[in-house]
Amino acid sequence: MDGIKYAVVTGKILRLLGKNQYTSNVESGSTKTEIKYWVELFFGVKVIAMNSHRLPRKGRRMGPMMGHTMHYRRMIITLPPVILFHLF
């Protein structure tokens, strides 16, 4: 579970929630199969599809030296639609 860093919340991601797509940043060395295994194991859901892309690095200056932030991989995980039954 160390590979999944944190969930991401932006305007685009709020629109994706309507399609049952959830987004989180993961370690750059993690593979799709590892992340799928951890999501299914810990959250108890079935993953339909996964998309991923690497985020661009941002420059950070520390005095005269120029460095870069750590870059993560962003995973978009698609889950099956939830069917709610109403019993009257």
Encode pLDDT of 37-81 as tens digits. 988 888 888 999 999 888 888 888 888 888 887 778 889 999 988
> What integer pLDDT is reported at residue 86 of this predicted model?
56
Find how far residue 59's CA is from the centre of its chain: 23
Tokens encoding 65:
């030296």
Least confident of 1-10, 24-33, 68-77: 1-10
- pTM over 0.85? The answer is no
CATH code, residues 4-60+67-78: 3.30.70.330
Domain ranges of the chain: 4-60+67-78
Lowest mean pLDDT among 3-7, 21-25, 60-64: 3-7
Placement of tokens 């992340």 in the chain: 35
Q: What is the DSSP string of 10-46?
A: -HHHHHHGGGTEEEEEE-TT--HHHHHHHHHHHH---
